[in-house]
Amino acid sequence: MTARNKPGDKSPENRTSPRLATVDDESAGRRLDNFLLTELKGLPRSRIYRIIRSGEVRVNKGRAKPARRLESGDVVRIPPVRQVGKEGAVSVSRGKADWINQAVLYEDDALLAINKPSGLAVHGGSGISLGVIELLRAARPQARFLELVHRLDRDTSGCLLVAKKRSALRALHESFRDGVAKKYYQALLVGDWQGGTREVDLPLLTNQRRNGERYVTAGAGGKSARTRFFPLETYSGCVLTKVQLFTGRTHQIRVHAAAIGLPVAGDSKYGQEGGWRPPGLTRLFLHAERLLLPHPTGSGEIEFTAPLDERLESVLSRLRP
């Protein structure tokens, strides 16, 4: 377990001096922000980011970024904070709690899979009070451990994995990092498709900014990224594709699709501004349809499938002659 306070220390709500937490083997490999969310239960993620960026949080006496992966033996300086515990706890209505539980596609002792809707972030922060993980934790206050395995863009729907054990989180992270996990999406692309399967192998730069938001560009010097597009149905002016991701870069499908002149329908960031979109489409047509990967307990492969929502099915019905 992580090193705790000495007997007689004040509670987190009332502490006026920083404390030091030593990372143990169980916490090794976790991101700094997720580690702090566990140590400072109830503190909003946006507040976690602020205290990290201000330098109040230190790892081995040095500043660190939220995404830093901690190692066993690292010493994390945790500053005194307010509004931790009950005062800072997320309050979720019964309806929202019921909804997030109904969105679960699969669940066992090690993990669960959720069919995330478009428009819902995977976690709160940057002006977003609640995301999937906050809703899930609030709906299941008895759960000892719930952590995101990977991420989906806010506007992307579909399969999202959550680990229920730290050992499962490490195993699932390894599957994604080593490319063992197979990820398939459905995307409607705008334009005239030529030929059969197309593969895009273009590095991506993710440190660009446009209008204050992160903007990804394709070009030399970026991280390697590889995407394969399979045409499924061709319509007038657009094509429905199955997409296989071999890497997991930010906005990868959207940037690669735009790079070949076939942007994802409904994409206002990388598509043509004010360009044509199919009748009835009010969101990004990008859906994480299927995940195939080894079960974290070593009990064979497991597959998750999330069906398209009714709105996207309705768009396809209108496109078909």
Spatial CA neighbour of 78 closest among 31, 26, 27, 36: 36
Q: 132-139 vs 94-102: helix axis angle to the nearest 10?
A: 110
DSSP three-state, residue 39: helix
What's residue 88's pLDDT? 45
Spatial CA neighbour of 200 closest among 251, 264, 155, 244: 244
Q: Which two tokens stand for residue 88?
A: 């800072």
CATH assignment at residue 65 = 3.10.290.10
What's residue 4's pLDDT? 43
Chosen domain end from 87, 116, 146: 87
3 belongs to a structural domain: no
What's residue 56's pLDDT? 93
Give the list of residues 6+ apart from residue 268 with CB closer than 8 angstroms, or none: none
- Model's pTM, two decimal places? 0.75
142 belongs to a structural domain: yes
What does the longest C-alpha to C-alpha distance in the chain come to? Answer: 74
CATH assignment at residue 230 = 3.30.2350.10
What's residue 274's pLDDT? 64
b/e code 202-217 from CB counts within 10 Å (16+ = b): bbbbbeeeeeeeebbb
| Cα distance between residue 254 and residue 239, in whole Å | 14
Residue 110 domain boundaries: 91-175
| Cα distance between residue 112 and residue 146, in whole Å | 9
Residues 100 and 221 in one domain: no
What's residue 72's pLDDT? 83
Query: What residue ranges of the chain have pLDDT lower than 70?
Result: 1-16, 26, 82-96, 125-129, 207-212, 273-275
Residues 168 and 81 in one domain: no
- List, by residue number, the catalytic residues: 153
Residues 96 and 83 in one domain: no
Residues 194 and 221 in one domain: yes
Task: Write out the H or E segment, with its range, that includes residue 184.
Answer: strand 182-190
Report yes or no: 182 and 310 within 8 Å, Cβ to Cβ. no
- What total of structural domains would you count in the chain? 3
7 belongs to a structural domain: no
